[in-house]
């Protein structure tokens, strides 16, 4: 899971997206329900666990659609 999140963060950094949550929520408003957890984990990527799999997969799907 950690590697998957690091790829998302790296993708954002390459595109100079500094407000990752706002970007992904704009693409998928359904992420709002996970807002607190996303904020926490995006600041501390080493804390990502299997419980975060759903929103990580949604972010990956957004990236796949855009690339």
Boundaries of domain holding 26: 2-66
Burial of 35-49, coded b for 16+ CB within 10 Å and e otherwise, reads: eeebeebbeeeeebe
Rounded to two decimals, what is the model's pTM?
0.91
pLDDT the model gives residue 35: 94
pLDDT the model gives residue 6: 95
Residue-level pLDDT, tens digit, the chain, 67 residues: 999 999 999 999 999 999 999 999 999 999 999 999 999 999 999 999 999 999 999 999 999 999 8
Residue 49: strand, helix, or coil = coil
31, 39 Cβ separation under 8 angstroms: no
pLDDT the model gives residue 11: 97
Q: How far apart are CA 64 and CA 62, in angstroms?
A: 5
2, 45 Cβ separation under 8 angstroms: yes
Query: What is the tally of structural domains in the chain?
Result: 1
């Amino acid at each position: 899971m950690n590697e998957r999140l690091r790829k998302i963060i790296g993708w954002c950094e390459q595109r100079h997206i500094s407000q990752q949550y706002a970007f992904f929520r704009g693409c998928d408003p359904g992420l709002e329900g996970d807002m607190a957890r996303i904020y926490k984990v995006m600041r501390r990527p080493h804390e990502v666990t299997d419980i975060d799999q759903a929103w990580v997969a949604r972010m990956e799907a957004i990236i796949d659609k855009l690339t």
